[in-house]
Amino acid sequence: MQSGEIHRSASPETDPDTTLADKSMSGSTHSKDSTKTLKPNSILQLGSIPMPPMPKFAPLSVPMPRRRQTASVLLWMVLVPLCVGLFLEMLLLSYITRTIALVYFLYVMQDKGQELGARRMDWLRSLSVWVWFADFFPVSFRKESDLDPSKNYIFGYHPHGVISIGAFTTFGTESRNIAQQLPGLNIRLLTLETNFKIPFWRDILLFLNVASADKKSINYILGGPKSKPGDSVMLVLGGAAESLEAFPNTNKIVLKGRLGFIKLALQHGATLVPTFAFGENDIWDQVPNPKGSYVRKFQTMFKDIASFSPVLFHGRGIFTYDYGIMPYRKPITVVTGVPIDCPKLDTVTEEDLKRVQKLYIAGVQSLYDKYKDELLPNRKEELIII
């Protein structure tokens, strides 16, 4: 009587040509026919049923700083469901909490803080948890030149990536000391209006100095009654369409059809600053979604309805390096380029838009070309601007 065969791929510590043989239950003899030589990268098999390879588990002896970093990223990833869960729990818990939740809901419905420059709280932006978060990848910041605090700026961030981690870390917190790196500037990171409909999460964003990415919000920051020198915005220009192109070791950005931010810069006389995040696309994998596929059609349809795309991403786990939705520990370097001054125009023509757009695209390309060999050594292709 023979026992069932179990074939495993050779581990890095063993000879890949290791031979396994079936043994009889009573002795050490083995059949010649049951002997098989395993090849590297073979998958685990039980009989004739293929099974996925064994996950690579994180060691138990992880230093405390790395544990803190992982915990901070995990907290950030579950923050939205925690906020929603807390609100629902308040609705169900008791009459008192239900009343508080309903009053809060009415407040959210009439509050327009996201359109009025946010509600910056420096103590929240400076918490240690954001430093641990940035150190996980790690995220770093560089600047091509100092920026005059007497001007207003529109920063254009590329590429979008899956969730724009580099933009949030660098401009949504003080984890990389952006207030000291670019003194005199009050930069609001802009995000979709949809985020400000989520209870409690919206308030966290407002306190982190995050505002809405719509036109009304930008006009208020750059030219509203409380606008002053140094007030600036950070726009992730590629948006939902670009997030669908976020694959590791590639950089495809949606820019040629983006003219709205240039028009705003000319209307307010704001200076444009191309900003590139090297490595932003490398921290997650994404389910293949070539144009014409059912996956891409579904994502595009969803984007047209909800204004954001359901990116089907995956990465590592908390305790494994293979399976999960946690991001990989891949470095992200955010670099601000040479500023492009825009004159303030009462009437903006198509010729004005095209002229400034050409300068801006050249600025993005120059920034990429300067740092690509240093910061993207494993790239599969060069920058593609669509």
DSSP string, 38-55: --TTPPPEETTEE-PPPP
Please check whether residue 6 lies inside any domain of the structure. Answer: no
Q: How confident is the model at residue 308 (pLDDT cuts 50, 70, 90)?
A: confident
Q: Mean of the pLDDT values across residues 332-353?
A: 97
pLDDT of 52? 66
The pLDDT > 70 percentage for the chain reads 87
Band of the pLDDT at 6, cuts 50, 70, 90?
A: very low
How far apart CA 273 and CA 233 sit, in angstroms, is: 10
Residue 284 in this model has a pLDDT that exceeds 60: yes
Q: Count of domains in the chain?
A: 1
Confidence of residue 321 (pLDDT cuts 50, 70, 90): confident
Q: What is the DSSP string of 83-133?
A: HHHHHHHHHHH-HHHHHHHHHHHHHHHH--GGGTT----HHHHT-HHHHHH
As a whole number of Å, the end-to-end CA separation of the chain is 65
In a domain, 173, yes or no: yes
58 in a structural domain: no
Residues 26-37 have a mean pLDDT of 41
Residue numbers of the domain that contains 126:
64-385
What mean pLDDT comes out for the span 45-58? 65
Report pLDDT for 18. 36
| pLDDT at residue 51, as a whole number | 66
Q: What is the pLDDT of residue 61?
A: 81
What is the mean pLDDT of the segment spanning 56-62? 77
In a domain, 9, yes or no: no
Q: Is residue 284 part of a domain?
A: yes
pLDDT in tens, 205-254: 999 999 999 999 999 999 999 999 999 999 999 988 899 999 999 999 99
pLDDT at 15: 38
Over the chain, what is the mean pLDDT?
87
In a domain, 35, yes or no: no
Residue 172 burial (C-beta neighbours within 10 Å; 0-12, 13-18, 19+) = buried
Structure tokens given for 351: 């010729």
Q: What is the DSSP string of 268-331?
A: HTPEEEEEEEETGGGS-EE----TTSHHHHHHHHHHHHHSS----EE-B-SSBSSSSSBPP---
Asked if pLDDT for residue 19 goes beyond 90, the answer is no
pLDDT at 179: 96
Distance from C-alpha of 331 to C-alpha of 234, rounded to nearest angstrom: 21
8 Å CB contact between 311 and 286: yes
pLDDT in tens, 123-179: 999 999 999 999 999 999 999 999 999 999 999 999 999 999 999 999 999 999 999
The answer to whether residue 263 is domain-embedded is: yes
Look at residue 364 in the predicted model and tell me its pLDDT. Answer: 98
DSSP state of 249: T
Classify the phi-psi angles of 117: left when phi > 0, otherwise alpha if psi is within -120 to 50, otherwise beta.
left
Q: What is the structure's pLDDT at 50?
A: 67
Q: Is residue 15 part of a domain?
A: no
Burial of 83 (0-12, 13-18, 19+ CB in 10 A): middle
User: Which pLDDT belongs to residue 305?
Assistant: 78
Tens-place pLDDT, residues 193-212:
999 999 999 999 999 999 99
Closest by Cα among 143, 224, 232, 218 to 184: 232
